[in-house]
Amino acid sequence: MKIFLDTADVTEIREANDMGLIDGVTTNPSLIAKTGRPFREVVAEICSIVNGPISAETTATDARGMQAEGEELARIHPNVTVKIPMTPEGLKATRALSKKGIKTNVTLVFQPLQGLLAAKCGATFVSPFIGRLDDVSAEGMSMVRDLLRMLQNYRYPTEVIVASVRHPIHVAQAALAGAHVVTIPGKVLKQLTQHPLTDIGLAKFLEDAKKIPR
């Protein structure tokens, strides 16, 4: 399973990238706004840090506008993946960009058929948001399982990015379901590396190592 970092914070991205675990990055307008920096500048800097797909989201709401924005974003760097909201206009833009060989990530997917339609329009990635579904008492992961099954049934090459991840259990469930990618906040990446028994075990080994005669 590929791991993308779900943030626009370049310090966090550099730190995670140094661990050698990051295969790509996803951003959205809310994450970019948090940085207080210009959109294109942040996207270009992320592309200079991580060598993998970097999702940058369009903000137009009509297909022609999304397509124009997407073409401009794709010129920033070959790794830019144009993130497009799952709307009828978004699907038109996805089709148009994919015909031009521009990578796309259809976002804000909350039910499997939305993902199937995105795949049919040639989306490179589709992003089901599981945490936001869990927040409203629906089971986010069951949507991911159904979507994976649908894409496999018809052998679509579209990759599923499990998004809106809140904790390590979501990551484990994504891996068990066979998701292609999981995109996670820096906090969850750190949590994945930790276990209290690892810390206790290491402290004991280091203490005992001091007793070994030289």
**Known catalytic residue: 99?**
no
Single out the segment in contact with ligand E4P by CB under 6 A; choices: 94-102, 125-133, 147-155, 172-180: 125-133
Among 3, 5, 17, 26, the residue binding ligand E4P under the rule CB under 6 A is 26
Position 180 contacts ligand E4P (CB under 6 A) = no
Among 58, 79, 94, 107, the residue binding ligand E4P under the rule CB under 6 A is 107
Position 132 contacts ligand E4P (CB under 6 A) = yes
Position 2 contacts ligand E4P (CB under 6 A) = no
Count of beta carbons in the 10 Å neighbourhood of residue 190:
15
Tokens for 27, please give them: 């951003």
Position 173 contacts ligand E4P (CB under 6 A) = no
Cα separation, 139 vs 101, in Å, equals 34
Position 104 contacts ligand E4P (CB under 6 A) = no
Closest CB 3 distance from ligand E4P, rounded Å: 13
Position 28 contacts ligand E4P (CB under 6 A) = yes
Positions 152 through 171 that interact with ligand E4P (CB under 6 A): 163-164
Count of beta carbons in the 10 Å neighbourhood of residue 38:
10
Count of beta carbons in the 10 Å neighbourhood of residue 207:
9
Position 81 contacts ligand E4P (CB under 6 A) = no
Closest CB 71 distance from ligand E4P, rounded Å: 21
Burial class (CB in 10 A: 0-12, 13-18, 19+), 110: middle
Pairing, β 159-162 against β 181-184: parallel
Position 6 contacts ligand E4P (CB under 6 A) = yes
Q: Mind giving me the DSSP string for 24-62?
A: EEE--HHHHHHHTS-HHHHHHHHHHH--S-EEEE---SS
Q: DSSP assignment, residue 105?
A: E
Cα separation, 184 vs 197, in Å, equals 24
Residues touching ligand E4P, count (CB under 6 A): 11
Binding footprint of ligand E4P on the chain (CB under 6 A): 6, 26, 28, 107, 127, 129, 131-132, 163-164, 183
- Active-site residues, by number, are 83
